[in-house]
Amino acid sequence: MAGIYVHVPFCKKACHYCNFHFSVSLKNKNDFIAALLKEILLQQNYLQQEVVQTIYFGGGTPSLLLQEELIQIMQALRAKFTISSNAEVTLEANPDDISAASLAAWQQAGINRLSIGIQSFFEEDLQWMNRAHNAAQAMASISLARAAGFTNFSIDLIYGGPLLTDEKWEQNVARALELQIPHLSCYALTVEPHTALEKMIAQHKKEPVDADKQARHFLLLMDWLRLAGYEHYEISNFALPGFRSRHNAAYWAGSKYLGLGPSAHSFNGKQRRWNIANNALYQEALQNGKLPFEEETLTETQQLNEYIMTSLRTLEGLDTGIVTTRFGTEAAATLQKMSEKYTSSGKLQHVNGSLVLTPEGKLFADGIAADLFFN
């Protein structure tokens, strides 16, 4: 299967913690749409005629797009790619952009799944993050989505922030469970370089994050959602049976995908591409008929390390049989030996021929994967 990601680089306001590529000015949105349509034309052969099973509008805030803009993009994609009749088409949406009218417009444009950026149901948390929506809109957005007929949707929640006590975190998760949200994406508050949050912490205007609290919140989250019947199918993602994100799951399975828009990444199995993270330069290049990307070809060692990193994040884990088939028996034996210190310490376990992180191991997922990398 193959997927397409569309990066929409616009937001109403800048969240303090965000390090994604975006602009808070919408004055060049028309130029962006024109450039994006040109990129679709120029990239039509990238996926080599594979059937596209998923399309994902991310950002930024793609819910800022007008209905006619979404329809225009979807029509261009359908004209240049073979898109499955039952493709999963996801739109990231902020609660303040969700209304009965916008939901109907998105459905008419072909959107059949939503990813709603709730982050918290508490007003003080949203203000601390500098979110564009309030707590009432967070609740209303879910009711509105259901009333419009959306049964497949996800919400984002952030844990580990200075204002979020254990009790408030439990209430956030309990609210999601009461609402029977089919999919949850939950992330620790991260202080990314060059963000407003990093600057404000350095200036002592905001409290630093507490790593111990974040670990505690994550362990609590795993317990609560396991008891509620959710699959913890990737480090940050939980789904009721049948509601995994097909698009994101394909990333972790190593499927091909095409990224469109400034800063978007693409992968065809052996090469990675990433578009320039500058709206003006992206638009200028495409106006001149050029694709504004850089590219690297992955060595076999890099492909193996990529598989280690992505597979360890999943419920199914790192399949040693796949390592043997793709990279050889020596690589599989070496990996088995390197992993022994983590199986003996209880951070990894053997499950049906795969190495799978335990709940404790998931606290150290990135570090364990990096330690297992081949040089």
Query: Is 344 domain-assigned?
Result: yes
Looking up tokens 């789904």 gives: 239
144-151 mean pLDDT: 98
In a domain, residue 16? The reply is: yes
Q: Is residue 214 within 8 Å of residue 160, measured between CB atoms?
A: yes
Count the domains in the chain: 2
Residue 27 pLDDT greater than 90, yes or no: no
Q: Give a yes or no: residue 262 inside a domain.
A: no
Q: Are 208 and 332 found together in one domain?
A: no
358 shares a domain with 228? no
φ and ψ of 305, to 5 deg? -65, -35
Alpha-carbon distance of 46 to 86, in angstroms, equals 21
Residues near 361 by beta carbon (within 8 Å), at least 6 away in sequence: 342, 346, 347, 348, 368
Cβ contact 52:83 at 8 Å: yes
Check which CATH number belongs to the domain holding 357 and give it: 1.10.10
- H helix or E strand, kind and range, residue 7: strand 2-8
Determine the pLDDT at residue 20: 87
**Quick one: tokens of 27?**
């004055």
Residue 1's pLDDT band (cuts 50, 70, 90): confident
Q: Give yes or no: residues 78 and 141 share one domain.
A: yes
Cβ neighbourhood burial of 116 (10 Å; 0-12, 13-18, 19+): buried
Does 167 fall in a domain? yes
Task: Based on the fold, state whether residues 132 and 21 are members of the same structural domain.
Answer: yes
Domain that holds residue 342: 301-371
Domain CATH for 22: 3.20.20.70
Q: Residue 25: its pLDDT value, please?
A: 86
Task: Please tell me whether residues 214 and 326 are part of one structural domain.
Answer: no
Locate 323 and state its tokens: 């390592």
Distances from the Cα of 104 to the Cα of 70, 78, 137, angstroms: 12, 20, 18
Taking a C-beta distance cutoff of 8 angstroms, is the pair 257, 266 a contact? yes
For residues 66 and 167, state if they share a domain: yes
Please name the residue that has the structure tokens 């390592």: 323
Residue 149 has pLDDT above 90, yes or no: yes
Q: What is the pLDDT of residues 81-114, one digit of tens each?
A: 999 999 999 999 999 999 999 999 999 999 999 9
- β-partners of residue 354 are 319, 351
List Cα–Cα distances, 369 to 65, 309, 349, in angstroms: 38, 5, 14
Which of 191, 226, 252 corresponds to the end of one domain?
A: 252
Question: Do 185 and 117 have their domain in common?
Answer: yes
- Give the single-character DSSP code of 50: P
CA distance readout (Å), 236 to 14, 25, 159: 23, 30, 11
From start to end of 179-269, where are the E strands?
183-188, 231-234, 237-239, 256-260, 265-267
Tell whether 351 and 222 lie within a shared domain. no
In a domain, 106, yes or no: yes
Q: Which helix (H) or strand (E) holds 34?
A: helix 29-42
Same structural domain for residues 208 and 70? yes
Cβ-Cβ contacts under 8 Å for 168 (sequence gap 6 or more): 122, 125
CA dist list (Å): 372 to 64, 355, 365: 42, 12, 11
pLDDT greater than 90 at residue 335: yes
Residues 56 and 171 in one domain: yes
**Where does the pLDDT of residue 73 fall: very low under 50, low under 70, confident under 90, or very high at 90 and above?**
very high
Q: Do 164 and 41 fall within a single domain?
A: yes
The last residue of a domain, from among 212, 233, 252: 252
pLDDT band at 23 (very low <50, low <70, confident <90, very high): confident
Please report which confidence band the pLDDT of residue 19 belongs to, taking 50, 70 and 90 as the band edges.
confident
- Whether 355 and 228 share a structural domain: no
Q: Which amino acid is at 76?
A: A
Which residue from 250, 331, 269 is spatially nearest to 320, judged by alpha carbons?
331
**Residue 292, in any domain of the structure:** no
SS3 content of the chain, % helix, strand, coil (to 5): 45, 20, 35
d(CA 2, CA 73): 18
